[in-house]
Amino acid sequence: MSVELDVFVGNTTIMDEEVYQFWLDGYTVNDAVKVRMEGGVLEECETSAEVLYSDTMDQYRTFQMCERLLHSPAKLANQLLFQIPPHRQAMLIERYYAFDGLFVREVLGKKLSKGTKKDLDDVSAKTGITLKSCRRQFDNFKRVFKVVEELKGPLVENIRQHFLLSDKLARDYAAIVFFANNRFETGKKKLYYLTFQDFAFCAGLLISKWTVGAMDNMVEDMDVDLEKQFLQDLKDLKILITDKDLLDQHKSLVCTALRGKTNVFNEIEANFKNLSRGLINIAAKLTNTKDVRDFFIDLVEKFIEPCRSDKWTSGDILLFLTHYTNSAHMLDSFKHQVLWDRYMGVIKSCILKMYHE
């Protein structure tokens, strides 16, 4: 006698977001269980410590099996082993590639190599972030870097498409890739006050205005390398400080525009030539790899620190840089207006972001 049965099997993978975060943060199963118990989960679910331990262990195993898929996020949608709804997949990917601001600040601008990875014990001790979490974050940075360095097209879009990240996270990774490629110095003591988001904001400007991709959006390494011809052309701006008449005219125009509008007018008038030389010399030296690396140190030393010591406000900075930039257009013998605007547009925005009162 035969019996026909209709069988339905549901196997949606159950994942607790809190436990996933414990796993990402490098907690052991025992530590995760302890935190869950302290949060009152036993009473809430009317269960025992044994069941809670078993549940946590089971979820940790699931996350470990998913991890290889998370290394190539597109595979997560196409695999059949785990039935994970799309919104859950997005959560798993976004959180896996999320990073701690304190951690990224320690490795930003360093080479993503084995040498740097060996130093992660020290980074872990300094930041209080578990070594396991530090390694995951570092490996993610390295993985994204290796994938996008081979691709043509816009950096942010390449990261977003290949790793299925949100626009905000993709932009942050673009900044990390850009800093790693150009090896910008970020670890000097006088730069400690700057956060990762300060640097990421500046990276976004440099990528969109100063790279090869700013002019041609389908070239090799378009958003990773600064445009060499642009950096070479910046030497032409030196005429603003080497031609005494131009320097005096520029100062006169700026001071006339600012008189009576700021409490630091006397300081602006006294320091104009030094500040202008500082900004122009930064531009003129960017053909040298070392000076590119020292870009942020130079901005702090040549402009931000002198202004801070004279107690300029952010409003004073904005007012000065606006008139400093615009006044150059009124100099009849200055013929590099487009180049000037491309340079000063980035410099002005970076300084305003980096100037913490």
| pLDDT for res 116 | 85
Does the CA dihedral 128-132-133-137 come out positive or negative?
positive
Query: Residue 221: pLDDT above 70?
Result: no
Q: Is 100 exposed, middle or buried (0-12, 13-18, 19+ CB in 10 A)?
A: middle
Q: What integer is the mean pLDDT of 259-280?
A: 97
Look at residue 240 in the predicted model and tell me its pLDDT: 97
Is pLDDT of 260 > 90? yes
Name all contacts of 126-129 with Cβ < 8 Å and 24+ positions apart. 127/100, 127/102, 127/103, 128/102, 129/25, 129/26, 129/100, 129/102, 129/103
* 129-154 confidence digits (pLDDT tens): 999 999 999 999 999 999 998 888 89
Say what the pLDDT of residue 41 is.
80
- pLDDT score of 1: 60
Query: Which residues does 256 contact at the CB level (< 8 Å), separation at least 6?
Result: none
Query: Is 217's pLDDT higher than 80?
Result: no
R_g of the chain computed on alpha carbons: 26
Helix (H, G, I), strand (E, B) or coil at 93: helix
Res 15 pLDDT > 80 = yes
User: How confident is the model over 21-31, as pLDDT tens digits?
Assistant: 999 999 999 99
Distance CA 221, CA 154 (A): 9
Q: How far apart are CA 61 and CA 65, in angstroms?
A: 6
pLDDT of amino acid 123: 95
Over residues 307-328, the mean pLDDT reads 97
Question: Per-residue pLDDT averaged across 9-34, rounded?
Answer: 89
Residue with tokens 């202004």: 307
Over range 203-220, report the average pLDDT: 79
Tell me, what's the pLDDT at 216?
60
* pLDDT grade for 225, boundaries at 50, 70 and 90: confident
- Least confidently predicted of 44-53, 104-113, 179-188, 301-310: 44-53
Confidence at 351, pLDDT banded by 50, 70, 90:
very high
**Above 60 in pLDDT, residue 219?**
no
The pLDDT of residue 4 is 73
- In terms of Cα–Cα distance, which of 298, 347, 351, 352 is closest to 188? 298
- Are 109 and 180 within 8 A, CB to CB? yes
pTM listed for this prediction: 0.90
Q: Is a pLDDT exceeding 90 seen at residue 70?
A: yes
Specify the higher pLDDT residue, 217 or 194: 194
Half-sphere exposure of 339 (CA within 13 A, CB side): 19
Whether 320 has a pLDDT exceeding 80, the answer reads yes
In this prediction, residues 161-187 reach a mean pLDDT of 96
Instruction: Examine the pLDDT at 66 and tell me if it is beyond 60.
Output: yes
pLDDT above 90 for 331: yes
Q: What is the pLDDT of residue 115?
A: 84
Looking at the chain, the whole-number percentage of residues with pLDDT higher than 90 is 80
**Confidence at residue 7, expressed as pLDDT on a 0 to 100 scale:** 52
Q: Output the average pLDDT for the chain.
A: 92
3-class DSSP assignment, residue 65? helix
Q: Is the pLDDT of residue 333 over 80?
A: yes
